[in-house]
Amino acid sequence: MAKAKHWIEPHPQGVYVRPADIWIDPSGAKQHAVVTHGHADHARGGHGEVWATPETLAIMGLRYGTDAGTPVAYGEGFERGGVRFSLHSAGHVLGSAQVLMEYQGERVVVTGDFKRRPDPTCAPFEPVPCDIFITEATFGLPVFRHPPIAGEIAKIFARLETEPDSSILIGAYALGKAQRVIAELRRAGWDKPIYLHGAQVRMCELYEELGVSLGELRLVMDTPKEEMRGQIIICPPSALIDKWSRRLPSPVTAMASGWMRVRGRARQRGVEIPLVISDHADWDELTGTIRELAPKETWITHGSEDGLLRWCELHQIRARALAMIGREDGDDG
Amino acid sequence: MRRFAALIDSLIYTRSRNAKLAAISTYLRETPDPDRGWALAALTDSLDFPAVKSSTIRNLAGTRIDPELFRLSRHHVGDTAETVALIWPEAPDREQSDPTVDEVVQALSSTTRATAPDIVASLLDSMDSNSRYALLKLAVGGMRVGVSARLAKTAFAQAFAVPLDDVEELWHALDPPYVALFRWAEEGGKRPDLSTTPFFRPFMLSHPFEGDSLDLGAYAVEWKWDGIRVQAVHLGGETRLYSRGGDDISAAFPDVVEAFDRAGVIDGELLVRGTDQGGEAASFNALQKRLGRKTVSKKMRQEFPAFVRVYDLLIDGEDDLRLLPWHERRQRLEAFVPTLNRDHFDLSAVIDVDDFAALETMRAGARDAAIEGVMLKRRESPYLAGRVTGHWYKWKRDPLNADCVMMYAQRGNGRRASFYSDYTFGCWTEDGELLPVGKAYSGFTDEELKWLDRFVRQNTLNRFGPVREVAKSLVLEVAFDSIHDSKRHKSGLAMRFPRIHRIRKDKPAEEADRIATLRGMIS
Measured between alpha carbons, how far is A30 from A24 in angstroms, rounded to an integer? Answer: 10
Do A188 and A88 reside in the same domain of the chain?
no
Please tell me which of the candidates A145, A267, A306 has its beta carbon nearest to residue B415: A267
* One domain for residues A92 and A217: no
Q: With an 8 Å Cβ cutoff, are A272 and B83 in contact?
A: no
User: Helix, strand, or coil here: A69?
Assistant: coil
Set of chain A residues whose Cβ sits within 8 Å of the Cβ of B465: none
* Partner A contacted by B79 (CB < 8 A): yes
What pLDDT score does B461 carry? 87
Contact (CB<8Å) A265/B87 = no
Chain A residues lying within 8 Å of B76, measured CB to CB = 141, 143, 262, 304
Q: Residue A17 sits in a domain of what CATH number? A: 3.60.15.10
DSSP B416-479: GTTSEEEEEEEEE-TTS-EEEEEEE--S--HHHHHHHHHHHHHTEEEEETTEEEE-TT-EEEEE
Domains held by chain A: number? 2
A247 in reach of chain B (CB within 8 A): no
Residue B224 is a catalytic residue:
yes
Residue A47 lies in a domain: yes
Name the residue of chain A whose CA is nearest to B19's CA: A272
Fold of the domain spanning B207-396 = D-amino Acid Aminotransferase; Chain A, domain 1 (3.30.470)
The chain A residue lying nearest B414, using CA atoms, is: A264
Whether residue A82 sits in one domain with residue A200: no
Closest residue of A to B446, CA-based?
A268
Residue A72: predicted pLDDT: 98
CB contact under 8 A, A142 and B415: no
Residue among B98, B174, B159, B93 at smallest CA distance from B134: B98
Chain A residues inside the 8 Å CB shell of B82: 262-264
Report the alpha-carbon distance of residue B238 to residue B202 in Å, rounded.
19
Q: Given a cut of 60, is residue A328 above it in pLDDT? A: no
Which residues in chain A touch residue B68, judged by CB atoms under 8 angstroms apart?
310
Residues A117 and A25 in one domain: yes
Q: Establish if B64 touches chain A: CB-CB under 8 angstroms.
A: no
Specify whether A190 is located in the same domain as A225: yes
Give me the interface pTM, i.e. the ipTM: 0.94
Which of the residues B20, B76, B144, B419 would you substitute to probe the A interface, choosing the one with the greatest number of A C-beta atoms within 10 Å?
B76
Of the candidates A141, A100, A105, A144, which has an alpha carbon nearest to the alpha carbon of residue A278? A144
**Which residue among B20, B137, B153, B224 is the active-site one?**
B224
Domain assignment present for A328 = no
Question: Is B13–A273 a contact, with Cβ atoms under 8 angstroms apart?
Answer: yes
Answer yes or no: do A271 and A284 share one domain: no
Q: Domain residue spans in chain B?
A: 207-396, 400-519
Residue in A closest to B72 by C-alpha: A307
Write out pLDDT tens, residues A193-246.
999 999 999 999 999 999 999 999 999 999 999 999 999 999 999 888 777 887
Which residue in A59, A53, A23 sits closest to A39, CA to CA? A59
* Pairwise CA distance, residues B26 & B23, whole Å: 5
3-state helix, strand, coil in chain A (%, to 5): 30, 25, 45
Looking at the complex, does the CB of residue B250 fall below 8 Å from at least one CB of chain A? no
Structure confidence at residue B440 (pLDDT)? 94
Q: Which of B66, B72, B415 sits opposite A264 (nearest CB)?
A: B415
Residues A116 and A35 in one domain: yes
Per-residue pLDDT reduced to its tens digit, A60-89: 999 888 768 999 999 999 999 999 999 999
pLDDT of B307-338, one tens digit each?
Answer: 999 999 999 998 999 999 999 999 999 999 99
Q: Which residues of A touch B78 (CB under 8 A)?
A: 262, 264
Q: What secondary structure does DSSP assign to A79-92, as a single string?
A: EETTEEEEEEE-SS
Residues A16 and A134 in one domain: yes
- B contact residues 124-153, partner A, Cβ 8 Å cutoff: 133
CATH of the domain at A222: 3.40.50
Domains B207-396 and B400-519 fall in the same CATH topology: no
Residues of B in contact with A303 (CB under 8 A): none
- Is the same domain home to A271 and A245? yes
Q: Among partner residues A271, A272, A310, which is closest to B66 by beta-carbon distance?
A: A310
Among partner residues A264, A273, A274, which is closest to B417 by beta-carbon distance? Answer: A264
A122 and A251 in a single domain? The answer is: no
Whether the CB of A261 is below 8 Å from some CB of chain B: the reply is yes
A218, amino acid identity: R
Residue A196 within a domain? yes
Q: Is A141 on the interface with B (CB under 8 A)?
A: yes
pLDDT at A327: 55
Same-domain check for residues A85 and A153: no
Based on the domain organization, do A72 and A220 belong to the same domain? no
Reply yes or no on domain B400-519 having CATH 3.40.1280.10.
no
B145 vs B142: CA distance, rounded Å: 9
- Interface check B416 vs A, CB under 8 A: yes
- Note whether residue A86 is domain-resident: yes
> What pLDDT is recorded for position B109?
93
Ranges of residues in chain B whose predicted pLDDT is under 70: 193-196, 274-281, 283, 285, 292, 367-369, 413-415, 417, 523
Q: What is the model's pLDDT at position A192?
A: 97
What is the structure's pLDDT at A43? 92
Task: Show the domain range for A108.
Answer: 4-143+280-321
Q: Report the gap between the CA of B61 and the closest CA in chain A (Å).
A: 12
Q: Is a pLDDT exceeding 70 seen at residue A333?
A: no
A142–B15: do the CB atoms touch at under 8 Å? Answer: no
- DSSP characters for A86-116? EEEE-SSSTT-EEEEEEETTEEEEE--S---
B73 touches chain A (CB under 8 A): yes
